[in-house]
Structure 1
Amino acid sequence: MTVAGDRVTNFLNSDGAGQPEGSSWQWQTSGGLPYLTCSLLSRWSHGFFTRDFSPSGPIELTEVLAPGAAVYRLQQIHGNAVLKTSQLSPMVASVPSTATPTYAEADGLVASGDLEALWVCSADCVPVLIADSGTGLVAAVHAGWRGTAAKILPEAIAQLLAAGSQLENLKIAMGPAIAGEVYQVSVEVAASLGATIAPESAVSATADGICEFLHQLPESPLLTDPEPSKVRVDVRLCNVLQLQQLGIDRSQVALAPVCTYSDSARFFSYRRDGLKKVQWSGIVSASRTSPC
């Protein structure tokens, strides 16, 4: 354990399965409250925050990561739209008003400049933070099963590439989300995810056929379920497989060894509780003039 000011680092135990060599996850604290970071993103201020910070939102949490950074968030709609911060106005501190703030509808954000804090929220869906060691730019993505089926992560990667990124420079951390072992879905839902990674010959198959293809993969995102017409699915692994199809090496991607459904002490879970409560995940773009 290391201590630096108000921040305490406690390395998270993990069996290392499926993790890039040399990557690790750490519990940090701010004001005595825990949040998670990933060593792949150690050069960027970032955090996957726990339920303990609720009801604090992006403005307050940016003060933990990078005071003074411009703050951006979205109205998430479980789609595949990705916006650049240059298309939005940064958030401002709340002032007494009867008006309810409105936000652009999308599920992914890509930074356009330096010192921009990008935020997404989740309660079982996959929060994905991406950083580019070449440009210093970052992205934040909310990838539920619907967004994953619509290939939101490849869309975010495409926008980073359009902004000058190179695939080999990308570092991707997928934060706490519901684990495949406890995420029961219909065969049809699993097939919609499988269609994004299956070869064209398999995509034209029935839902059962696509699921059979997924079961045969060396690192399958599917697990069997005792209930007829149901399976268990690992949405994070579906996203990993999509990234590999783009040419991103597995060593560039880290998965948090934490399940929101199982860890009720630290995380909200919609599947577990049925409540619309969320935790926030954010990352801050680095200066393009400083080495990354």
Structure 2
Amino acid sequence: MDREQGWVWQSTEVGDYLTCDLLSKFSHGFFTRQFAEQSLVELTAHLQAPAQPFRVKQVHGNLIHTTAAIQEKGITSLNYEAQLPGDALVSSLQNQAVWVCSADCVPVLIGDIKTGKVAAIHAGWRGTALGITPLTVEKLRAGGSQIQDLRIALGPAIAGSNYQVALDVAVTVGQTLTLPRPNSDSTPEAVLEHLQNLEHSPLSPDPTPGRVRLDVRRVNALQLEHLGIAPEQIAIAPCCTFQDHQRFFSYRRERIKQVQWSGIVAN
């Protein structure tokens, strides 16, 4: 067992997966490329919890589904094409495992320590710009969760120091952090200046003209803090999918559509 900054690597006969101390009340895991050939049923079994796995057909948007909605539609297959399009799942009952897959995008796992409900989110830059993570928190709140009871782990993703984006991408994502919310008169320059002046800014310079480096996990964390979630309720994994080629697939590095899974089980 290898521990680092509130995160722990768990060992299995297949490989290692990452857990977060903040989610210690929940069976959960951020899995590595070593588990790529395993089904969600097999992955759920590694969490040592009898649970039914659920997933969505990820589309880089902000659609959120509940496991109840999936069941109501009679979707029982874990085949990709059979799933509802969306990028976040919220549990409805105990012993339900919600899963998302990612390569460089941010996998977000949320647990409510009072209700036992959980959520799994796929937050790429597009979904982040559309507010997928705060919208999922609002979905949990609508179901009875309280802000102070949420524990949130942002798993392995591409680090900001390695994620070069065009300025318009940074502006689109950054508009979600501008307070008050930007209106149609806000200029790209004003949005970028606001981002650069934030404490622990998600932006860093890039030597290429018209480009910057963007920390999408940091953006998600700041979005959550804007909802009133305390920083100590949020953890960011000390892993970069782009740098750690032994453990993780990275689309930015390899340009191949390969993913690793992240999941959490409702109590």
Relative to the length of structure 2, the TM-score reads 0.95
In structure 1, the partner of 2:3 is 11
Does 200-209 or 221-230 show the bigger shift?
Answer: 200-209
Distance in 2, Cα, partners of 1:208 & 1:179? 24
In structure 2, the partner of 1:108 is 88
Match of 1:64 among 46, 63, 69: 46
Distance in 2, Cα, partners of 1:182 & 1:174? 17
In structure 1, the partner of 2:144 is 164
Q: How many residue pairs were aligned?
A: 263
Unaligned 5+ residue runs, structure 2? none
Task: Work out whether residues 3 and 9 of structure 2, in 8 Å CA contact, stay in contact via their aligned partners in 1.
Answer: yes
Distance in 1, Cα, partners of 2:190 & 2:91? 39
In structure 2, the partner of 1:174 is 154
Task: Report matched runs for 1:107-126 at 5 Å.
Answer: 107-126=87-106
Task: Work out whether residues 115 and 285 of structure 1, in 8 Å CA contact, stay in contact via their aligned partners in 2.
Answer: yes
Task: Work out whether residues 161 and 215 of structure 2, in 8 Å CA contact, stay in contact via their aligned partners in 1.
Answer: yes
Match of 1:208 among 176, 189, 193: 189
AA partner of residue 261 (structure 2): W
Report the CA distance between 1:67 and its aligned residue.
4.7
AA partner of residue 257 (structure 1): P
In structure 2, the partner of 1:38 is 20
Task: Work out whether residues 78 and 147 of structure 1, in 8 Å CA contact, stay in contact via their aligned partners in 2.
Answer: yes
Report the CA distance between 1:68 and its aligned residue.
3.1
In structure 2, the partner of 1:97 is none
The RMSD of aligned alpha carbons is: 1.5
In structure 2, the partner of 1:17 is none
Task: Work out whether residues 70 and 91 of structure 1, in 8 Å CA contact, stay in contact via their aligned partners in 2.
Answer: no
Report the CA distance between 1:167 and its aligned residue.
0.2
Report the CA distance between 1:66 and its aligned residue.
3.7
AA partner of residue 85 (structure 1): T
Match of 2:109 among 109, 126, 129: 129
Q: Deviations over 1:243-281 (max 9, x none)?
A: 111110001000000000000000000000000000000
Task: Report matched runs for 1:86-105 at 5 Å.
Answer: 86-89=68-71, 91-92=76-77, 101-105=81-85
AA partner of residue 259 (structure 2): V
Q: SS of 2:253's equivalent?
A: helix
The higher radius of gyration belongs to 1
Q: Deviations over 1:44-88 (max 9, x none)?
A: 000000000112131210111145311100100000011110000
Match of 2:165 among 170, 185, 206: 185
Distance in 1, Cα, partners of 2:202 & 2:61? 21
Unaligned 5+ residue runs, structure 1? 1-8, 15-23, 95-99, 287-292
Q: Deviations over 1:71-128 (max 9, x none)?
A: 100100000011110000364578xxxxx75110000000000000000000000000
Q: Deviations over 1:177-236 (max 9, x none)?
A: 000001000110000111001024755322222111100111100001111110000001
